Structure 1
Amino acid sequence: MKAFKLENEPKITTGFKTSDDYFDDFSAKVLQQINETKEVKVIPIYKRKNVLSMLAAAVVFIGLLIPIVNNYNNTSKELDEATLETYLSYQSNLNQYDLIKELDTKDIDKLNKSVALEQETLEDILSSNPNIENLISE
């Protein structure tokens, strides 16, 4: 492979040229332009139609977003009874003794208050179920 030397190759001109005395008074020209104060036209933001339409669109967007955010924050984190019952019924390795073991005395008191069987209801259940011995032993 042929050795490449950068110094020996012909140079390519950039195409940009400045006059010889351009940089002599360059700083004076820049300072003169800085010192000149130009009157800036101020356009109030409320007079622009584009800004007003964007503002109206933002208000509508926020108005539509409020019910969604409100509904998202109000969703309950608690399980309803049907979901819990379905979950427990499909757990094949879960039996009644596992459930009893997890109950507190406060939970048992709540169950005693909420379960109020009448005498007729109890008689109907016992008369319609052929496995009375299993019910009594449990």
Structure 2
Amino acid sequence: MKTFKLENETKIESGFKTPDNYFDNFSAKMMERLPMNEPKVISIFHRRKNLFLLIAAILVLALLVPTLYNYSTPQKSNMDAAALENYITYQTNVNQYDLINVLETEDINNIKISMVLEDKAIEDVLSLNSNLENLILE
């Protein structure tokens, strides 16, 4: 390969040339071409302030929605009867005496059922029940 030396080769001249004395009065010509009235300047900080207000409002709403939802929904104070019965049935450490101690007189009056049992029906149940001794002891 032939060695290439930059200084020895012919150089191509640029196709762009500036006119003579172009830069001497360039700034004066440029100032003449600029418009006399200046455009309205809008501050970046003004938009930023609105953005901060928007973010703060969204944050306040995000924090208030769960709180307002909890206050607006009614709390279920009374339990479902089936759930309560299942709980009492499957808890082996709860006996009738515990229930009697917890119940108030109003609750006991609500539990009372006016059911008339005939003597024949009672005799039939007692004769068919093999746990008669347990019932007597309780």
TM-score over 0.5 for the pair: no
User: Please, what TM-score do these two structures have when normalized by structure 1?
Assistant: 0.40
User: Please, what TM-score do these two structures have when normalized by structure 2?
Assistant: 0.40
